[in-house]
Structure 1
C-alpha cells in the first residue's frame, strides 16, 4: 500500500516565480565565487568542499523545486525536467513516479535520520577526525598539501595519540590514514552507518545536505539550500579545528590541541547540533510523506 496522494497547493505565477528568483539569488552568493575559482584554477579547502565532496552540481543546487504536492500555475513543464508532469492545476512534481523509483532510497534515508535523531548527542570528539586524516603523513602526502600544518608532524602525531578518537561517521573514518584507524575507539562501516551515526557529529549534520538533495525534487529547493548553508558553516569549523593553518584565508584556528580550544569546539559543536535538529526533523517528515502507509 502506497502513501495517499498529497493535497495539491496551487501557486499563482507571481508567487512561484518570486520564490524561484529568491532561491537563485540566495545560492548565487555561494555559487558565483566557486565557479570563478574553478574557472581560474584556484582551490579553496573550505569554500569548495561541498562542491567537490558531494555529487550535487552547482547547476542542480541553483535549480528551484517547489516540492511534492505543489502545482505551478502557468508554468512550462519543459523548464522543470522529466520529474514533472502537467495536470489541470498546473505543472507539478510527478510524485507517484518518483515514489516508485526511489522507494528504497527514501526508506533508507528515513531510517538513518530517525535513528540518528533518537540518540543523545556526543560532543567529545574535538575534531580529531581531521587530525587522524594526516596522522603520520608528510606535507606532500596530506590531502590539502597546498596549506601548511599548524604543528610539526611529531606534534601533530602526539596530539592524535594524546586524545581519544571516537569517530562514528564512516565517511570521515574512511579517510583516516592506515596507522590512525586502529586508534579509533569505533570501527564504523557503511553497513553499520545507521547504527553508529549520532546528532552531535559534524559530518552527520553536514550530510543533511546530501540527504536533502537526494530527496529532491520531492522536497523544496529552499530546504536543500537551508541544509547547504548549515553544512557550509560546519565545514568552516571543521577546518578551523583541523591541523591546517588557514589563518591566511580568514579562518583563525580553534586550537583543539589545548583545553581551551577543546572547550570552544564543544560549544560550537553543540550549537550546530541544535541547528541541525529541526532540519533533520523536516527531512524525516518529508520522507514519511512518501513512505508506504504501513511504514510511515
Structure 2
C-alpha cells in the first residue's frame, strides 16, 4: 500500500480528537441522559437508535488513511482495530522524519476485511448521484407507516397523530405514493404496501436510490461510518449533522403532532405544506450532493480507483 506521507504531532492530533469529541458530545450527551432516565425523543434519538453506530464509537476520532500519529498517546491505538505501527520507511517518508515511532491506519487489512462494504458504498454513491432527483414524495412514507394500523401495532405509542387515525388514512389515500427507499418502504403497514407505486427491495436498492430522497441523503452518514476508521472523522460528522437536520424536517412532515417537542408541523396535506416540503427537500438535496461527492472521492482514494 502507499506509504503514509503526513505525520501529526501528539498535540496536533490530540487537539483534533478533542474537537471531535466535543462535536459529538453536543448530540450524544442528551441522548445518553434520556436513555439513563428511560425517556424517549422522537427526533433526536433516531441517529443513535436506528443506525448501528453507537455514541462511544462515534466519539473516537480517526484521521483516515495516510496519516501517522506520533507521541506516547498514539500507542493506545495499537489495540484498536485496523491500526498498526508505522514502518521506518513510512516514518522517513512523512513530513516528520525525525519521529522514531508512530501509529497509522492499516489500510491493507481494512480493505481485505471490508472490501464488500467499500464496493457497495462506491456503487450506491455513484449510482445515486447519477440519477435525477425526485421531489414529489412529500414525506408520505411516514404516513404509510401508520396507515390503517392496528391498535396492537401502534408505531410510536407515546405520540399523537396530528389528524387522528381517519384523517391520516385519508391523506394516504388522497395522494400518490412513490417511495424509492427500501428502508422506509419496509416499515409500511401491510395495508399500505400495495399503495406504493414501486417495490423497493434490498436487492434493487442500488437501482432505485435517487438524490432527492431524504432517507437516501440521511444514509450518507451510514455509508460514512461503515467505512470508519478509513474515513476522517470530520467527514463522518459532516454526514451525521446533515442527517440530524434531515431527520428533524422528516418528522415535521410526518403525521405526528410534535409541537410540544418544539417541532412545528409541515402540513403536507395542504398545497402550502407541499411547497414548503419541496423547498426543504431541494435544499437538503443540494447539501447532500456535495457530501456524496466528498464521500465518493474518499472511497475511490481508498482503493486507488
TM-score (norm 2): 0.92
Q: Match of 1:183, SS? A: coil
Q: Indicate the structure (1 or 2) with the bigger Cα radius of gyration.
A: 2
Instruction: Give the equivalent residue in structure 2 for 1:100.
Output: 112
1:77 to 59, 66, 75: 75
Shift of the alpha carbon at 1:30?
Answer: 0.4
Q: Match of 1:130, SS? A: helix
1:270 to 282, 285, 289: 282
Instruction: Give the equivalent residue in structure 1 for 2:57.
Output: 60
Shift of the alpha carbon at 1:35?
Answer: 0.3
Q: Is the 8 A contact 1:139 1:148 kept in 2?
A: no
Instruction: Give the equivalent residue in structure 2 for 1:225.
Output: 237
1:33 to 30, 34, 57: 30
Q: Match of 1:233, SS? A: helix
Q: Match of 1:235, SS? A: helix
**In the TM superposition, what are the counterparts of 1:196-211 in structure 2 within 5 Å?**
196-211=208-223
Does residue 177 (structure 1) correspond to residue 189 (structure 2)? The answer is yes
Shift of the alpha carbon at 1:77?
Answer: 2.9
Shift of the alpha carbon at 1:143?
Answer: 1.3
2:138 to 117, 126, 134: 126
Does residue 148 (structure 1) correspond to residue 157 (structure 2)? The answer is no
Q: Match of 1:60, SS? A: helix
2:14 to 13, 17, 21: 17
Higher relative contact order (CA 8 A, sep 6+): 1
Structure 2 Cα separation of the partners of residues 226 and 6 of structure 1: 27
Structure 1 Cα separation of the partners of residues 151 and 45 of structure 2: 21
Shift of the alpha carbon at 1:115?
Answer: 0.2
1:169-226 CA distances to partner (integer Å, 9 max, x unpaired)?
A: 0000000011111110100010000000000100000001100000100001111111
Q: Is the 8 A contact 2:4 2:65 kept in 1?
A: no
Shift of the alpha carbon at 1:5?
Answer: 1.7
Q: Is the 8 A contact 2:258 2:264 kept in 1?
A: yes
Shift of the alpha carbon at 1:76?
Answer: 2.6
TM-score (norm 1): 0.95
Shift of the alpha carbon at 1:103?
Answer: 1.3
Shift of the alpha carbon at 1:7?
Answer: 4.4
- In structure 2, relative to structure 1, the CA distance for the partners of 1:6 and 1:203 (3 Å cut) is farther
Q: Match of 1:85, SS? A: strand
User: Could you list the runs of 5+ residues in structure 1 that have no partner in the other structure?
Assistant: none
1:247-267 CA distances to partner (integer Å, 9 max, x unpaired)?
A: 000000000010100000000
Q: Is the 8 A contact 1:147 1:244 kept in 2?
A: yes
Structure 1 Cα separation of the partners of residues 223 and 14 of structure 2: 26
Give the stretch that moved more between structures: 74-83 or 173-182: 74-83
Q: CA RMSD for the aligned pairs?
A: 1.3
Structure 2 Cα separation of the partners of residues 240 and 32 of structure 1: 23
Give the stretch that moved more between structures: 36-45 or 68-77: 68-77
- In structure 2, relative to structure 1, the CA distance for the partners of 1:259 and 1:219 (3 Å cut) is same
